[in-house]
Structure 1
Amino acid sequence: MRALAAALAVLLCAAGCGLRPASSFVPPIEPGSIRPIPDLEGKRVRVTSKEFTEQLVLGKIAVVALTAAGADVVDQTNVQGSVNARASLIRGDADLMWEYTGTGWITYLGQQKPVEGAQAQYEAVRDLDLRENGIVWLPPAPLNNSYALGVTKASAEKWGLSKISDITKVPLPQRTFCVDHETFGRDDGFLGMLRGYGLQYGKDVPRANVRRLSVGVLYRSVATGQCTFGMVTTTDGRVKALGLVLLEDDRHFFPQYNAAVTMRRQLFDAHPEIAKIFAPISAKLTDDVMRDLNAQVDVDGDMPVLVARDWLRSQGFVR
């Protein structure tokens, strides 16, 4: 607790004393298995991320790891919306961010159908994004942050829900959904899922039955019965904490969403050693690990940068 209080004090001073914005705070670290790289010493690397918890934790992992390697890291994490964060990378306003293979393939590259298999999906997005946009994808982590429909155990038992195609078992008045704003209209999100399961928005799912909420309140809204179904993600720590049941994607609609470091080709060509920094980190990021890290923020109230630092320490990457 003393360490957390000290960290908070530094943050308040940084925000109020004109030093550095709170979002760019990097706690004190020493190199562990990540050793300083002479060619990276003082190299300016701008790291960005989206605004939701998992992206913040992954973004901070990148910030801390690159700092340990000697880079002069500019923390530009916490950008609202996938498209905005990605655009900063394409424009050259940022250099590096964690992204998801399915999001890259469907949302950014405009492909209609996912590629079956995690490795095949990664290779497809890696090759096309490099060719079209000059974006390098490093090998992905095992974690697959896929979309899912979550329900309470009571709802699952009441209507016999085990898979997404069971939606029609629920009477129309109770066929209600909580969906976050961004996920609602995505081809790989809510409306796309309805089409994939042969359900018509406005008929099989009345428009009035869909509540569009922020991610911050969505999970608890489902858990407290405000909606029967919630559009959630599989690695979110609140799924386990709130006892939600994830329905099987029995039509295999959702693509693989393995997280991978992406960067501008100019940065990779100048510093290919960055790939060696992230390879062992990515290998340890499983679904279970990511759920635990997310829960430390969303359930326990810890700060993303301290969660990232502590996990890197626990694995020996930094001290």
Structure 2
Amino acid sequence: MKKTSLSALAFTLALVMVLAGCSSKQNTIVVGSKNFTENIVLGEMVAQLIENQTDLKVERKPNLGATDITLKAITSGDIDMYLEYDGTVYSSYLKIQDPVTDPPAVFDMVNEKLQKEMKLKLTKPLGFNNTFTIAMPSEIAKANNLVTYSDLAKVSDQFVFGADPEFMNREPDGWNSLKEKYGFNFKKEITLDSGLRYKSIQANEMQVTNAFATDGQLKTFNMTVLKDDLNFFPPYNAAPIVRMETLEKYPELEGVLNQLAGLLTDADMQELNYLVDDKKETEEKVAKDFLTSKGLLK
């Protein structure tokens, strides 16, 4: 065979390999998640539903990190979707600084702006509101008759407060603005990894922490969630956030994702988190069992 023929053959084979590599990513949806139990469980739930009800393949990228990392991942196209919260879109994506005056209207408002400004879309909300909150051991709350944030503010100088770095630094719905709103004046403020918060509470190194309303560990450690009586926090309704380019390419996706609409209560989500964090079940099993119980896996 002539040298030119060998070169042509080599080029053809290389081209075929490149095209094969490209085609292997065809019909594949990349599902990511943030770096906490709930988001990983929900990402797995979405991944299993897509695999079960479509011909699409799913590539999983769980535990990516906090909001700034997942935002970069979805806007760059590294992932096609993950689970987000409308209050986080309000503050961290769209950078809206105005206080929320009409919580029920937040989801539709941010979704409209999200589609126009960032070419991303929230599909229908899952039903629960995983709002930020403040929590403390129930025995301490009961002993001091603490029910609301305002109650806590009056005696905050008796306690140590600790929170994860994202909550301490986020605006406008993070620690600095919350402290100013209520006039908190804690004995000490600690910044620590989110996975260490409840251990530090248990060791009495701190007595008050930020939490999500659906944290399974609230149940594990018998924590009381105080009431945000001045309505500082916006709602945090969970929903899949998806690249509009992906929805246009695979129009069947939205209908599949919307089967999860309204399916989870706050109590449901707290129980799923509890099964992973306390009972040590895998996120895959917890997601599958829930979908199966709702008749969504064929």
Q: TM-score range by the shorter chain?
A: 0.7 to 0.9
Shift of 1:296: 0.7
Select 1:185's aligned residue among 162, 169, 178: 169
Partner in structure 2 of residue 49 of structure 1: 33
Q: Using the alignment, how far apart are the partners of 1:234 and 1:127 within structure 2? A: 26
Deviates more, 1:266-275 or 1:63-72: 266-275
Equivalent residue runs for 1:1-319 within 5 Å: 43-68=27-52, 69-170=54-155, 172=157, 174-187=158-171, 188-199=173-184, 204-205=185-186, 209-318=188-297
Which whole-Å deviations, capped at 9, do the CAs of 1:143-169 have from their partners, x for residues lacking one?
Answer: 111111111122112322110112233
Partner in structure 2 of residue 19 of structure 1: none
- The residue identity in structure 1 corresponding to 2:139 is A
Q: Using the alignment, how far apart are the partners of 1:118 and 1:168 within structure 2? A: 24
Partner in structure 2 of residue 8 of structure 1: none
Q: Using the alignment, how far apart are the partners of 2:228 and 2:203 within structure 1? A: 23
8 Å contact kept, 1:48–1:77: yes
8 Å contact kept, 2:276–2:283: yes
Say if 1:313 and 1:91 are closer, same or farther in 2 by CA, change over 3 A: same
Partner in structure 2 of residue 25 of structure 1: none
Which whole-Å deviations, capped at 9, do the CAs of 1:282-304 have from their partners, x for residues lacking one?
Answer: 32111111001100110111111
Q: Using the alignment, how far apart are the partners of 2:201 and 2:109 within structure 1? A: 35
- The residue identity in structure 2 corresponding to 1:67 is E
Say if 1:222 and 1:167 are closer, same or farther in 2 by CA, change over 3 A: same
Aligned pair count reads: 272
Say if 1:314 and 1:115 are closer, same or farther in 2 by CA, change over 3 A: same
Q: Using the alignment, how far apart are the partners of 1:247 and 1:295 within structure 2? A: 20
Q: Using the alignment, how far apart are the partners of 2:32 and 2:101 within structure 1? A: 29
Q: Using the alignment, how far apart are the partners of 2:263 and 2:165 within structure 1? A: 31
Deviates more, 1:274-283 or 1:91-100: 274-283
Say if 1:117 and 1:142 are closer, same or farther in 2 by CA, change over 3 A: farther
What secondary structure does 1:127 align onto?
helix
Say if 1:70 and 1:115 are closer, same or farther in 2 by CA, change over 3 A: farther
Q: Using the alignment, how far apart are the partners of 1:72 and 1:286 within structure 2? A: 29
8 Å contact kept, 2:153–2:183: no
Q: Using the alignment, how far apart are the partners of 1:280 and 1:120 within structure 2? A: 22
Say if 1:309 and 1:211 are closer, same or farther in 2 by CA, change over 3 A: same
8 Å contact kept, 2:31–2:61: yes
Provide the aligned C-alpha RMSD in A: 1.8
Which of the pair has more CA radius of gyration? 2
- Unaligned regions of 5+ residues in structure 1, if any? 1-41
Partner in structure 2 of residue 36 of structure 1: none
Q: Using the alignment, how far apart are the partners of 1:122 and 1:90 within structure 2? A: 20
Shift of 1:171: 5.7
Shift of 1:118: 4.6
- The residue identity in structure 1 corresponding to 2:291 is L
Superposition TM-score, scaled by structure 1 size:
0.81
Shift of 1:115: 3.3
